[in-house]
Amino acid sequence: MKQTLSIIKVGSNLIEDEKGFYRILELFSKMPGNKIMVHGGGKKATEMSKKLGVETKMINGRRITDAESLDIAIMVYGGLVSKKMVAQLQAFGTNAIGMSGADANAIKAHKRPIKKVDFGYVGDVDMVNSYGIFKLLQSGFTPIFCALTHDGKGQLLNTNADTIAAELAIAMSDQFDTTLYYCFEKKGVLQDVEDENSVIQHIDTKAYDELLAYGIISDGMLPKMHNCFYALRNQVSKVCIGDVSMLEKGNSNFTTLTL
């Protein structure tokens, strides 16, 4: 029987909210078994860019990462956010280790090809070093991944944190029974975006297709749901979407996705 592994992706809004930040790290520390956290920090990077006088460029809600923006992402994701998380997790008794995709050759990617838009130094994942990550978990470390990968030729790349979480979950499913958690500011996938309590508690493939057809799943939730079902179709046991309380024992008011 496989050991269990929980992979928790933390949204930018939770990182910005001081109470939410501490709460999720505390609840994560209390989770039993093997675990990995993945985080971005887009809002913090935008804030830092403004302070440094660097323009943040977005197209259709996606960040353009030029050389200056990449340096800021490295400083914020791999430095400021990562180290604050790791220090707080150590205070909660979790032996965390802050990681980018370059550390231990954990996640290799290639620079996204230019099509209609040049996204700059943005990476699409090619490979996850599941054995190296497995050895870290075996040694008692809890990896905390930021949204940075590398191309194996010395170049760091800004990479979507939701995608990193899905790719990690898929790669680790060879060794573990893996559950992927997308933790953000909403209680789950909502039937009505105006009603915070209209959580759809279970979505399978059939329900997903219906929700898409009726336009209930749209906008920013579309890429997140795409990652969820991509993970499920590639051996990940279960995917959950919800707010911080999703990680509390006994809470069931969030969305669970299965095939």
Annotated binding site for substrate: 41-42, 63, 158
Structure tokens at 136: 């870290």
Find tokens 């400083």 and name the residue: 75
CB 109 within 8 A of CB 150: yes
- Which DSSP string do the residues of 128-152 spell out, in sequence order? E-HHHHHHHHHTT-EEEE-SEEE-S
CB 109 within 8 A of CB 101: yes
Q: How many helices (H) and strands (E) does the chain have?
A: 9, 14
CB 255 within 8 A of CB 203: yes
Query: Distance between CA 192 and CA 238 in Å, rounded?
Result: 24
Query: Distance between CA 138 and CA 257 in Å, rounded?
Result: 28
- Strand partners of residue 110: 124
Query: Distance between CA 147 and CA 159 in Å, rounded?
Result: 5
Binding-site residues from annotation: 41-42, 63, 158
